[in-house]
């Protein structure tokens, strides 16, 4: 029963993604591609000091990759960059709250990779 609810939540985020789109002005932007399946996720972040003021994502992919990106963008609003740099694989899997096969793990973590690499690139350029 609970697993069914979480699957419905994932489908809802897939069909009605939160924060989907593009920002006109952003401080952080990064795109990652899952070469195994072709999923693509780009994350754009506008900062207020060192905290997430606005966040958008765009791309294409399976239900897991798009739902994961939608859930991640909701989760990190107003968080600071240090908190974001400390996010782990387990944090994403907890958001999804379903069993993810090894084949789908890259899909589930694509948005986290886009986020972390975007922050890294931002800090290098600073």
62: containing domain: 2-125
CATH number of the domain enclosing 103: 3.90.1010.10
Which residue, chain included where needed, has tokens 């899997």? 93
Cβ burial, residue 80 (10 Å; 0-12/13-18/19+): middle
Report whether pLDDT(1) > 70. Answer: no
Number of domains in the chain: 1
Q: In degrees rounded to 5, what are phi and psi of residue 46? A: -105, 125
Residues 14-29: tens digit of each pLDDT = 999 999 999 999 999 9
The pLDDT of residue 97: 87
The pLDDT of residue 5: 56
The pLDDT of residue 2: 46
Residues 39-91: tens digit of each pLDDT = 999 999 999 999 999 999 999 999 999 999 999 999 999 999 999 999 999 99
Reference 76, options 45, 38, 98, 49; nearest CA is 45
């Amino acid at each position: 029963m609970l697993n069914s609810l979480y699957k419905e939540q994932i489908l809802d985020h897939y069909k009605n993604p939160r924060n989907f789109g593009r920002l006109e002005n952003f401080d952080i932007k990064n795109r990652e591609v899952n070469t195994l399946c072709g999923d693509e996720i780009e994350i754009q972040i506008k900062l207020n000091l060192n905290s997430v003021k606005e966040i958008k994502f765009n791309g294409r992919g399976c239900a897991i990759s798009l739902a994961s990106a939608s859930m991640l963008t909701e989760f990190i609003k107003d968080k600071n960059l240090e908190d974001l740099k400390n996010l782990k694989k387990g944090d994403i899997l907890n958001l999804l709250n379903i069993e993810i096969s090894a084949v789908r793990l890259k899909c589930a973590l694509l948005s986290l990779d886009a986020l972390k690499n975007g922050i890294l690139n931002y800090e290098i350029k600073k």
